[in-house]
Structures are given as C-alpha cells and as structure tokens.
Amino acid sequence: MTKGHSIDALTRLEAAITSWPRRGWLPKEQASGKMVLEIGARDAEPKPPEADILEALRERLRQVLARPQFMQRLRNVFRPEDIEGKIDPRDLRLAPWILWQGKPPAIEFPGLLDMVIKQAGQSRRTLRNLIEAWVRDFSPNGIDIAKAGRAIERLLETTSDARLNIWREAHARFKMFSADDGPNNLAQALLQGPEDVPAILAAAGFAEGVRSVSSYLRAVQAKLLERLAAMLRGPGATERAQRAFRFLLQDDKLRFDDQRSFLACMLCQPWFDNGPEPAPEIRNVIRDFLVDQIGDPRIRRDRWTGAEKEADLIRRWLTRASLEVFFELIAEHAVDRQWRYRDAFWSACLKKGVISDAWLALGKHVHAAARARQELGTAYAKLDGSADQSVLLLRIGKLVIVERSHNGKLRAWFERDGPELYQPVYTNSELVKPCLPFPRDPLGGGGNERNTSGLTHSNPEGGHWQRRAAALLARYADIVIEPSEWEP
C-alpha cells in the first residue's frame, strides 16, 4: 500500500467514526462500578519498587548522607538547608521502603527520617509509603519506629486524603501507631471482640495482601499469645482459644509458619505450672490445633524443633486420647466381660507415666466409626483383613506391646524386634509373630515361661494375667505396677 492509499484509508476511517451515533455507542459506566473502582484505588496498598531500584536508591542516599561533613552536622542538629538540593524529592518519596530493610537499613543514615517526615507532610504519596513501610517492617524496639509512629499520627491529623481514612480510624480505635500500645490493643480486640476476628482485622487495615503478613501483625501475634496463655486456665478459655486460632490461621495455614515453636510454647505454657491437668475440652482444642497445624509430634518431630518439651506434652495427650478412644470403640464393637480389667491395667500404666507412645490399628467397621470421631483425627492405622477387631500398640520403656480387642492375646517384644509404630496399615501376621515369654504368676497358678505365642487374658477377676504382665514390665522395662494401681 502506497503512502497516498494509507492517507485515504485513514481519512475514510475518521469520517466513519465521526458519523457513528454517539448515544449508546459505549455503555455508560454504572455508578456502582465507579464506586468499586474508587474504593479499590483508595484501599490499594502502595507497592515498593523492584529490589535493584531500591538498592540503587540506598547507594545514592548513602553517598550524600554518609559524607563526613554532613554526618557531623546532622549528629548535632538536623538542618534541611545543609542537604537542600542534594537529594532528589523522588528519592525521598521512595526512601521509606528502605528505612528498616536492607544492609545497612537507611534509618541509620543521619537525618533521613526527618527529611522523609518533612516531605510526607507535603506529599501524600510519601506519607502512604511511610505508613506501609512502617507496618511492613514494624518492630517494637526498632530504630526510630516509635518516632516514626508519632510522626504518622500527627500527619494523619493534618491531611484530608480519603485513602488514609482506614489508618485514621484504626489509630482512633487501637492507637495503631503507638509502638507500645497499638499491637497490644489490637491483640486484646482480637481475643475479646465484640466483632468477629475478620471484621476486626479489616477495620485495622489487615484484611489481605502484604499487610496481612506484615511485621506489625507478628508483633500483634506475640501480644495475643501472651494474653491467651494467661487466659487458658480461666473461664471462657475455649472461646478465647478459638478466636485466637482464627487470627493465627490464614487460608487454613499458619499465618507465620516460622513462628510455630513460639506458638507451641505459648499454647502449652500454662500446663507446666505444676497445677491441675487441663479440662478435657481446652486440652483437646489445643492438642488438635497444634497437631493439625504443626504436625503429629510422634511422626513430624522435625516440625517441633525449638519446642521439644511442648512436643512431649502433646505426645502424652495423644497417648491418652489413643487409649481412651480405643477402650470406647472396643466397648461398642466387642462383647467382652473382662474388658474393664484391661482398661484398668493400661490406664494405671498411663497414669504412672510409663507409656511413652500409643498407636491404634482399627478393624474395618471400627475404622469407619472412628472417622466420625474428633478425638483421633487421622492419628490411627487400619488393621488389614479384620472387620471388628482392633489393636492397641504401646511403647513402654524399651518394649513394644500389642493389646488386642475381643479375645486376642497380649504380646510384647523388644523395640528392635516388634512392629513399628505409626504405620498407616498393619497386617495380622506382623502382629502375631513370636514374642517375649511372659513370666510365671508370682502368686502361683501356672504359666509357661517358654511360650512365645503371647499371654491369654485368663482369670482377670483373680488378677492372674495382670500379675504376669506386670512381672514382664518389671523384668524387661524396670517398671513396677502394683496390684493396688491396676485393680478396677
């Protein structure tokens, strides 16, 4: 196509556009659409520039503010005229993004924060950047964090930018920009309401985006967990814990997964005070939350690094739950006149603290029933090839013990020879292999010490099998269980 042809084509196109009916050519923007756009623009978080741009900015500021002649003056008194014309206003607008980040953090550059604050009083974009960077990089004891917070408070009072209304309202309600009071006040509201947790986070400006995982919320989480730990033995503990969990999670995962050891320590702290055991309801709520979000400490020990003592506590709680659910489920599925004697014997071992771990393998029908129970979650195995029978695997000292439902025998092995705990599926053959022989009944009444097929639960009313089981624990695990402890 020649140049002349192109001009003719463009002329015809322009004429066609000019003659096109204007009314109805483009749909009119709805008022509601305008409102959505305005709200979105107002609440949108300013985004920091790319890392290479910020590093170049840091170097430019360093070259100006780290010069000996300026550093000496600025240490004594900050005078803007000393730097006048030396720093581009655009650099000051972006400077908040590197004030508390990078090496070195630009907050260490003499006089820079004062210059940023001064410009923030004249530039709304600079003020917005300062607020976002302060929230993102907040630390209660950070360099000049408190000073910057006080300046933000003053600047919010003197600007009418509607995009900053959410911060004005947050400060009016929570004293948000007070480094000392803000995180504590927000933590209190999250725990005690009256609104639900998402509404409180939205009112404070932390509903989503980078703010929702900001360092400010890390500080709030620390205050929240300190407050919650002091409430867990008091009235309303379960409700407070549930509110805390709604904050601690984001999209069904820990908001700050790298804080899981601190989280575990704070949630378990009240139960190391030599006081009474926790009530079952609050114990189960805490146990289930930690197991769901950190992992079963019997299987995911690595996830509990830094909270080993707390992991042991949760293991004990899980062991208790396994025994309790085992006996409840067996009571529903096994008709056994002597079952209460088994319950009494192993409950005595649990109370004495000698059971370090417990794991269930449930038969097909019992397994289906367990699915509806909150006590176990997914912390149990399937017993392959069995319908109603189930197995309780225990670790006591250096022994692994298998107790069966119905009329199954009791068996024990040294840990190296016995079935491994925490497997997802067990077969009957691996649970009935030859085991340690049980000693004779100390009170007489027989018993073959060469029998490696296991111990029959005979004469429970007279304590026969219980005395032989206790003798085995004493011989191979140095654990003494007296009859007065295991009698029903």
User: Domain ends where: 148, 172, 196?
Assistant: 172
**Tell me, what's the pLDDT at 14?**
45
**Tell me, what's the pLDDT at 18?**
37
In a domain, 14, yes or no: no
Rounded mean pLDDT, 435-456: 88
Rounded mean pLDDT, 352-360: 90
**Tell me, what's the pLDDT at 27?**
35
**Do residues 150 and 220 both lie within one domain?**
no
User: Domain ends where: 172, 193, 221?
Assistant: 172
**Tell me, what's the pLDDT at 123?**
93
**Do residues 256 and 371 both lie within one domain?**
no
pLDDT above 70 coverage of the chain, percent = 83
Q: Is the pLDDT of residue 75 over 60?
A: no
In a domain, 35, yes or no: no
**Do residues 47 and 131 both lie within one domain?**
yes
Burial of 106 (0-12, 13-18, 19+ CB in 10 A): buried
**Do residues 410 and 341 both lie within one domain?**
yes
Q: Is the pLDDT of residue 20 over 50?
A: no
Rounded mean pLDDT, 66-79: 55
Pick from 23-37, 38-52, 206-220, 461-475: least confident: 23-37
**Tell me, what's the pLDDT at 435?**
96
**What digits encode the pLDDT tens for the residues 362-393?**
887 776 666 545 566 677 888 887 767 889 99
Rounded mean pLDDT, 285-290: 94
The CA-atom distances, in angstroms, between 14 and each of 20, 133, 282 are 10, 49, 75
In a domain, 197, yes or no: yes
Pick from 20-34, 262-276, 281-295: least confident: 20-34
In a domain, 235, yes or no: yes
Residue ranges making up the domain that contains 107: 43-172
Tell me if the bond preceding 434 is cis, omega within 30° of 0. no
- Confidence at 32, pLDDT banded by 50, 70, 90: very low
Q: Is the pLDDT of residue 28 over 80?
A: no
The sign of the dihedral angle between the CA atoms of 247, 250, 251, 257 is negative
369, 347 Cβ separation under 8 angstroms = no
365, 387 Cβ separation under 8 angstroms = yes
**Do residues 400 and 449 both lie within one domain?**
yes
**Tell me, what's the pLDDT at 29?**
35
The CA-atom distances, in angstroms, between 346 and each of 321, 462, 466 are 13, 17, 10
**Tell me, what's the pLDDT at 76?**
53
- Angle of helix 464-477 versus helix 339-352 axis, rounded to 10: 30
Q: Is the pLDDT of residue 187 over 50?
A: yes
**Do residues 330 and 393 both lie within one domain?**
yes
**Do residues 255 and 334 both lie within one domain?**
no
Q: Is the pLDDT of residue 286 over 70?
A: yes
**Tell me, what's the pLDDT at 104?**
92
In a domain, 21, yes or no: no
405: which 2 tokens?
A: 């439902």
Q: Is the pLDDT of residue 11 over 90?
A: no
- Angle of helix 112-120 versus helix 145-158 axis, rounded to 10: 20
Q: Is the pLDDT of residue 177 over 80?
A: yes
Under DSSP, is residue 289 helix (H, G, I), strand (E, B) or coil? helix
Pick from 2-16, 263-277, 367-381, 393-407: least confident: 2-16
Total domains present in the chain = 3
**Tell me, what's the pLDDT at 16?**
42
**Tell me, what's the pLDDT at 265?**
97
**What digits encode the pLDDT tens for the residues 91-112?**
999 999 999 999 999 999 999 9
Rounded mean pLDDT, 206-227: 95
Q: How many CB atoms lie within 10 A of CB 59?
A: 9
369, 384 Cβ separation under 8 angstroms = no
**Do residues 145 and 195 both lie within one domain?**
no
Distance in angstroms (rounded) separating the CA atoms of residues 476 and 474: 6
Rounded mean pLDDT, 24-35: 37
**Do residues 476 and 424 both lie within one domain?**
yes
**Do residues 360 and 377 both lie within one domain?**
yes
Tokens 């050891």 appear where? 261
- Confidence at 40, pLDDT banded by 50, 70, 90: very low
In a domain, 3, yes or no: no
Mean pLDDT of the chain: 85
398, 478 Cβ separation under 8 angstroms = no
Per-residue exposure over 264-291, b if at least 16 CB sit within 10 Å of its own CB, e if not: bbbbbbbbeeeeeebeeebbbbbbbbbb
The CA-atom distances, in angstroms, between 400 and each of 29, 387, 413, 450, 460 are 73, 24, 5, 19, 22
pTM (whole model) above 0.75: yes
**Tell me, what's the pLDDT at 401?**
96
**Do residues 51 and 94 both lie within one domain?**
yes
Q: What DSSP string runs through 415-428? A: TTTSPPTT-SEEEH
Distance in angstroms (rounded) separating the CA atoms of residues 402 and 387: 18
Return the higher-pLDDT residue of 378 and 312: 312
Return the higher-pLDDT residue of 8 and 89: 89
**What digits encode the pLDDT tens for the residues 327-352?**
877 676 555 567 788 889 999 999 88
Distance in angstroms (rounded) separating the CA atoms of residues 68 and 54: 23
In a domain, 38, yes or no: no
Tokens 């820990």 appear where? 254
User: Domain ends where: 153, 172, 191?
Assistant: 172
**Tell me, what's the pLDDT at 386?**
73
Determine which helix (DSSP H) or strand (DSSP E) holds 365, and give its type and residue range: helix 364-371
Under DSSP, is residue 396 helix (H, G, I), strand (E, B) or coil? strand
Distance in angstroms (rounded) separating the CA atoms of residues 68 and 167: 38
In a domain, 238, yes or no: yes
Task: For residue 414, give the nearest of 437, 439, 429, 436 by alpha carbon.
Answer: 436
**Do residues 238 and 381 both lie within one domain?**
no
In eight-state DSSP terms, residue 413 is E
Give Cα 58 to chain centroid, integer Å. 35
